[in-house]
Structure formats: C-alpha cells, structure tokens
Amino acid sequence: MSSNSTNGAHELHTEDEALSVLLDADIDKVMAGLDRIVEAAPSYQKLFMRWQRQQWSTEDFDFTEDARQWADPDLITKEERDFLLFGFSQFFLGEERVTAELLPFAMGAPSHEAQAFLTTQISDEAKHMVFFDRFYREVLGASAATIGDMLDQQRANVNEDWERLFNGILHDCAERLRKDPSDFAALVRGITVYMVVIEGTLALTGARFIIRSLKERGWFPGFTAGFTAVNRDESRHVGFGVKFLADAISADPANARIIEETLKETLPVASLVFVPPGVENPYDFETPFYRSEEIFEYAMKALSKKLAAMGLDPAMLAAAA
C-alpha cells in the first residue's frame, strides 16, 4: 500500500511538472514543454483542472502598437503582408471550423471525464475565433457586421488543401460521429485528424514559426502575446488527443491500424496546407520568413514524438507521406 501511494504521488508530481509549461509566455518553451506533457500523459481530470487555472480573455491584449505597425507603409513589405494575411486567415477560419465540428466528438466521448474535457475545448476554440475576429477589426482594419461575414471575407486567402482538410476530411469525421456517437472507430479517426494532425502537427508548428518571426522583428506585440495564449490551449488539447489514442491502442491494438490509415489519408493533404499562393513547387519554396524544408522538418519531428508517445513506430510516416 505504501509503495502504491508513493508511485501515485510521483505520477501526480510528474503531471503537474509537465503541465506547468502551459502557464509560460514563451512559445518556444511551450513547444518544448509539449513533449513533456505528451510523455507524462496527464489524466483528463488533470487537464480539466489546468483549463480552470489557465483562463484568459480576448480583451486581455493591447493592440495599439500592432495597429500602428500595420498602418506603417514603410515597415512591412507587400510580400510580407500577403504572406501574413495567408497565415492569419488559415488560423482564423480554422478556429471557426474546429469550433463547429467538435460537438459530435464530445457526444461520442466514452467517459464523463473525457466528455468534460472536450466541452472545455469547444469553449477554447470559440474564444480563439473571437480573438482573431478582434485582431482583424482593430489591427488589420477589416470591417464586417458579424463574425460570419468577417470569415467570409477572408475565405479567399486560404488554399484548396485547407478546404480539403477542414471542409472535407474533418467535416466527414464529425458527420460520422454525429450520425452514430457510439462509433468508437470513427472517434479514433476523428481524434487523429483533429488533435494530432490539425492541432499537433499543423497548428502548433505554423504558430511557432509565425510567433518566432514576429518576435524577431518586434512586430505585433499584442497579437504575439494573445497567439501564445491560444497555443498554450492547443498544447493542452494535443495532450488530451495523444493520451486518448494511447489508451485506445492499449485497449485494442486494432486502433493502431485506424490511426495509421488515417495518417495515410490525411498527411498528403495536411502538408500542403502550409503552401502559400503562387509558389511553383509546393514541396520546395521560400516565404518572407522561413524556407519550406524548415517547417516541414519541424512538423514531422513533432508528429514523430506524438506517435512514439502513443506506442507507435514513427517510421510509419515514411509510408504515410
């Protein structure tokens, strides 16, 4: 009995230590710390409690300097502006899509603990969408009657592969769960697409490069602070997804095959979400802020770590790419 108590205390300490990174304001520390969260596999209850302690408001951030910088014609080149609008819009529309599609996932959650956490994520995603709406209005000078109208204005900025991933694959995952919340295989597929590919591989990677680039230039201090808060939330979501899939594999190794098939279906599309308009080679291009091989390499390393934490062989990515 004494030995079990000691082990339990150690596990809780490990979880708390890993989750502490979610309170950090440095995106590189958050990203590095995500590996510790994934390895520690904190319980759904611990993740829920961290959500309670990690609240922030879309009104917390001062956009005065951001607006001044965006209005300065000599500070940011047209090429840089076009690329930033591409990146911002992919995130803004992505936040709306994941907010709308998550409810069936919560309905299909196999436990009250998992369901409780997923309801917090719906709230998070909605808050992220409102944060971007405020940024577009107060900094980028966009005007629209509603958030929906604002999203419609920015839709032309996302690429076709974004549409295929979010309005195709992710929507199909949500629809399968909506029609049959008891379809556990559909939930495994959906969690793989949502938390592991979209959030864990694309969003956190893209955010890391955007925030790093903006900080290096001293641009948009209000946005970078708010976007870092967004990605602390996303790190918590990814921690949930990796734990859920690790548990699913442990309960039934057949679920590993579902994850592998989902990655084969999704990754060829997902990698192209990074590609801005007008590039000749979608696998080899240069942006005003980084080269394609940098972001592709970072994304695959991040995914490999998550697969290893689930008990899967990251070598499967060679077949999935």
Give pLDDT, residue 9: 38
Q: Where are the domains of the chain?
A: 56-320
pLDDT, tens digit (0-9, with 9 covering 90-100), for 117-136:
999 999 999 999 999 999 99
pLDDT, tens digit (0-9, with 9 covering 90-100), for 197-208:
999 999 999 999
Both tokens assigned to 286: 């240069």
Contacts of 133 (CB under 8 A, 6+ apart): 92, 147, 150
3-state secondary structure of 74: coil
User: For 72, how many CA atoms within 13 A lie in the half-sphere containing its CB?
Assistant: 11
CATH match of 56-320 with 1.10.620.20: yes
Give pLDDT, residue 4: 38
Q: Taking 50 as the threshold, does the pLDDT of residue 23 lie above it?
A: no
What is the number of other CB atoms lying within 10 angstroms of the CB of residue 285?
15
List the Cα angle 289/295/301 in 5-degree steps.
Answer: 150
pLDDT, tens digit (0-9, with 9 covering 90-100), for 144-193:
999 999 999 999 999 999 999 999 999 999 999 999 999 999 999 999 99
Give pLDDT, residue 13: 43
How far is Cα 154 from Cα 321, in angstroms, rounded to an integer? 29
Question: Which of residues 276 and 12 earns the better pLDDT score?
Answer: 276
% of the chain exceeding 70 in pLDDT: 86
Which secondary-structure segment (H or E) carries 152?
A: helix 147-154
- Tell me the torsion sign for CA atoms 36, 41, 43, 44: positive
What is the number of other CB atoms lying within 10 angstroms of the CB of residue 216?
9
pTM attached to this predicted model = 0.88
CB of 291 within 8 A of CB of 297?
no
